[in-house]
Amino acid sequence: MPRPRLPGAPRELSRQYIQPQPLIDGLSRDEDKTKEMLAICKLITWLDGYANLSCVDPLKIEKTMRLCGDDVQGILGRIKDDVYAIGRLPRESERVVRLAKIVNVSRFLFFVFAVLAIALFLLASQIAPRLFSNPSYSLLTLVIIVVVFNANVIVYVFSGRRLSLAVKEFFEGSRDRAKPERRRVKDAAQALIDKLASRIKSAGTEPGGYRFTLLDSSYAHVRVTKEGGSYTAVVNLGAR
């Protein structure tokens, strides 16, 4: 899906495997189960968002699903194309595309100006050491660097907010779009809710430790614990 640039990109992490002792091995399995259930909570929130046209970076979904078992990954694998199809919808808006380009350019300039400022500072200190040792000159150079750098930061932040608003407005006017894809994504969110309930029951833990946020409270086997602009919910083991 788009980044807003339409949206972002993940970074892979690697870790060495250390052979655990029996007691530590048991603790490791419990920790892995907890991490998986917390990851499922995030995935439920994100999929519900896609079903209601509120999208995160799909690469976050792909990264998080790696913490889960094959059954959860299988559910997400079946709706991967639907997620990207929903996420690509804002590309049809000229305003969104234009703002995304501005954000990309300002992001690039953010790093360019930072490197350029350091380079100019070092170069000036070598070419004109006497002039550069003048406190007034040093202060003026620092002020110029700070002003240029902060100006680009302001452009980046302002453009990013305008882009987010443009994407939100586009989706608000596109409620009838991608209905089959959104239906399948919602069904996948329901399947994850059921998987989470099974894991919580199997672990013998309390559902209250595994909350997720919903924009739509019509799912089965959930109990809403807080209402507002969205719903905070937990799985309802008694409803199964």
Looking at 172, 199, 228, the residue that finishes a domain is 172
Let me know whether 129 and 184 are in one domain: no
Range of the domain at 61: 22-90+177-239
User: Is 11 inside any structural domain?
Assistant: no
H-only helix segments in 88-134: 94-127, 129-132
Predicted local confidence at residue 12, as pLDDT: 34
Low-confidence ranges of the chain (pLDDT < 50): 1-27
User: Is 17 inside any structural domain?
Assistant: no
Q: Sheet of 222-227: strands edge to edge?
A: 212-214, 231-235, 222-227
Write out the two tokens for 70: 């094959």
Predicted local confidence at residue 139, as pLDDT: 62
For 122-163, what is each residue's pLDDT tens digit?
Answer: 666 665 555 555 556 556 666 777 777 777 778 778 878 887
Let me know whether 35 and 61 are in one domain: yes
Let me know whether 140 and 183 are in one domain: no
Predicted local confidence at residue 141, as pLDDT: 65
Predicted local confidence at residue 60, as pLDDT: 93
Q: pTM of the entire structure?
A: 0.67
Predicted local confidence at residue 220, as pLDDT: 94
- 206: Cβ contacts below 8 Å, ≥ 6 apart: 200
Let me know whether 182 and 86 are in one domain: yes
Predicted local confidence at residue 24, as pLDDT: 34
The 3-state DSSP class for residue 75 equals helix
User: Is 165 inside any structural domain?
Assistant: yes
Let me know whether 117 and 230 are in one domain: no
Whether the CB-CB separation of 154 and 84 falls below 8 Å is answered with: no
User: For the chain, how many structural domains are there in total?
Assistant: 2
Nearest to 106 by CA among 141, 149, 144: 149
Predicted local confidence at residue 26, as pLDDT: 44
Predicted local confidence at residue 140, as pLDDT: 67
